[in-house]
Amino acid sequence: MSAIPLADRPALVRAALSQQGVDGFILPRGDEFLSEYVAPYAERLAWLTGFTGSAGLAILLSNKAALFSDGRYTSQMEDQADHTIWERRHITKEPPAAWLKENAKGLRIGYDPRLISEAALQGFQNSGVKLVPLQKNPIDAVWRDQPQPPASTVRFQRDALSGETSASKRARIAHALREAGEQALVVGDPTSLAWLLNIRGDDVPHTPVVLSFGVLHDDGSAELFVDEARISPEAKESFGDDVKILPIGALPARLKALAGKTVRLDPIGTSFWFVQTLDDAGAIVSRESDPCVLPKACKNQVEQEGARRVHLTDSVALCRFLYFVSQHGVGMRETDLAVKLDQIRAEASDYHGESFPAISAVGPNAALPHYRALPGQDRVLERNQIYLIDSGGQYDAGTTDVTRTVWSGPAEPPHEIRSAFTRVLKGNILLARARFPEGTTGHRLDALARYALWQVGLDYDHGTGHGIGSYLSVHEGPQNISSVPRPTTLQPGMIVSDEPGYYEVGHYGIRLENLLLVRPAPIGGRGPFLEFDVLGFAPFDRKLIDVALLLPDELAWLDDYHAQTLAKIGPALDDETRAWLAEACAPLTP
């Protein structure tokens, strides 16, 4: 908790902006690495506005202010932001650039070039304002008790878990640089750096990365900008002579040393400060996508087997938790239930913590897709309510993310809720069963998950699926499954989530999620086809299923999935929990 009251912070920032000669400030939610999940020192948006969502942007002017986020967080903005200070806007339906054009035309608007990408900055070019890069972030100037940046140990991700040496990865990416006529690559994404160098750290909650930058040269050598004292002996030994360790303060000079060379950087995933620094140094900036992203997304065989292994471990924990909820959940608070699940997961020796803050949501709170329960402000699970638990774990060999929605009973759920739940389940099943030709993007599959909801005029305002890392970020690109088109096709080895939902604001919410591994489909036809392998196993609450709405092939899939769940998870459970699972997984077919 900051010593400065929340209501006083905008005025302090406005004074700091006035000292720098600007009329306003654009503040994205993120850090110098443009990450979704950030360390406490970089929670600038939350400090200024009170809004704690993982996606958003604020614009502060001298006389007004606006806060933007997407459909996952619109209700959360309403709850957390002071309405007397902040207008709340949907970031896609009411873009920040349009708001600036309407409210700040002709004004000088500052931005921190370390916190925004060139691509994001270009989105403001036609907003009718003069964009001014600031030397000092105005939040940092007035946030007196701002936490210090983290300094966790840099660990080595063993080859037995990564499936490929760092030298091999660096050689592959360096070859791509040479093919493109580029002499160096700026690695600005900590997850790309973690993949490339086979390192992990604990600088950011829930995402095992090291907050550092890297430069890869076309001969396969690299420079890692981090305090050398942080590097474990095992990691240092793995680097050999090909990876030089330099302090973060040496980064500007090393970039200037690239003068005259063609340097690749991702204009979306790298801060604009790098473009400025390289331009000033006389380097030629090649604005291309991060070449680490796609091979990182396409898990090799070792990573795929690791994912299957940790999902079984995680599924055992989730089934134990669901049984606990069925017996003892009523009367417990949302936060206590989340802690209980984390405690069960922590019994696994290779567990490193949650992959994101668990969404433990009762009744109306379940209608907030990215709800965060806080002690003292959370609900108690009562009888005859919806309970939604969306959670995941970080393990040595992989990352998990799974959602189940259950009914606390004992009364039968209302028909409206059972119908909505079953239609969400139908979408989950239809997507999981999909077969599709190579070259298919996730955008083309998104409608499968929504089809049953659409038939009765329902929908949900978030994507259907996101990529998952291998003991890395729970949200990983470049692939996704969404109504918003992306050019990246689904490819073997990719892991995506399958999480349709439905939300009745103020009443209840439903989401059902499994992770899917893309693999070749064993069918002929015109060209290669792909399909999904479901990774996690936990029952879908039969009390919420309206069997009459399921087609015969959907029922057959569900019965088979439940049979697999009992066979794979049952042997790892005690007798009492196994008996519960057997009942939960009993065939639904009449």
Radius of gyration of the chain (CA): 24
**263-280, pLDDT tens digit by residue?**
999 999 999 999 999 999
281-301: average pLDDT: 97
Asked if 245 and 508 count as a contact pair (C-beta separation under 8 A), the reply is no
Q: How confident is the model at residue 526 (pLDDT cuts 50, 70, 90)?
A: confident
What is the pLDDT at residue 518? 98
The tokens describing 342, both together, are 């984390």
Q: How confident is the model at residue 3 (pLDDT cuts 50, 70, 90)?
A: confident
Percent of the chain at pLDDT above 70?
A: 100
pLDDT at 169: 98
Nearest C-alpha neighbor of 458 from the set 405, 503, 511: 503
Q: What is the pLDDT of residues 47-64, one digit of tens each?
A: 999 999 889 999 999 999
Using a 10 angstrom Cβ sphere, with 0-12 exposed, 13-18 middle and 19 or more buried, the burial of residue 524 is exposed
Alpha helical stretches, state H, 346-480:
415-432, 442-454
pLDDT in the model for residue 590: 73
The interaxial angle of helices 415-432 and 442-454, nearest 10 deg, is: 150
Show the tokens assigned to 427: 């979408």
For the beta carbon of residue 142, count every other beta carbon within 10 angstroms: 19
What is the DSSP code (8-state) at residue 333? B
Q: Is the pLDDT of residue 84 over 90?
A: yes
pLDDT tops 80 at residue 525: no
Q: Strands, DSSP E only, in 247-294?
A: 262-265, 284-287
What is the per-residue DSSP string for 86-152?
-EEEETTTS-HHHHHHHH-TT-EEEE-TTSSBHHHHHTTTTSSSEEEE-SS-HHHHH-TTPPPPP--
pLDDT in tens, 459-509: 999 999 999 999 999 999 999 999 999 999 999 999 999 999 999 999 999
The reported pLDDT for the residue numbered 32 is 95
Query: What domains are defined for the chain?
Result: 6-142 (3.40.350.10), 155-294 (3.40.350.10), 298-584 (3.90.230.10)
User: According to the model, what pLDDT value does residue 75 have?
Assistant: 82
pLDDT at residue 74, as a whole number: 84
**Which secondary structure element, helix H or strand E, spans residue 407, and what is its range?**
strand 402-407
Q: State mean pLDDT over 553-573.
A: 98
* DSSP 8-state class, residue 231: B
Is the model's pLDDT at 1 over the cut of 80?
A: no
**113-136, pLDDT tens digit by residue?**
999 999 999 999 889 999 999 999
Say whether 456 sits in a helix, a strand or coil: coil
Q: Phi and psi (nearest 5°) for 124?
A: -100, 0
**Token pair listed for 374:** 């806080």
pTM to 2 decimal places: 0.93
* pLDDT of the residue at 37: 84
Mean pLDDT score, 421-439: 98
Sign of CA dihedral 380, 384, 390, 395: positive
Per-residue pLDDT reduced to its tens digit, 168-224: 999 999 999 999 999 999 999 999 999 999 999 999 999 999 999 999 999 999 999
The closest of 39, 29, 251 to 150, measured between CA atoms, is 39
Q: 378: pLDDT confidence band, cut at 50, 70 and 90?
A: very high
What average pLDDT does range 542-567 have in this prediction?
Answer: 98
**Arithmetic mean of pLDDT over the chain:** 96
Rounded Cα gap, residues 248 and 390, in angstroms: 37
Q: What pLDDT does 527 receive?
A: 84
∠ CA 229-230-236, nearest 5°, is: 85
Give the pLDDT band (50/70/90) at residue 305.
very high
Tokens linked to 431:
């997507």
Amino acid identity, residue 165? T
Comparing 2-11, 41-50, 326-335, which segment has the lowest mean pLDDT?
Answer: 2-11
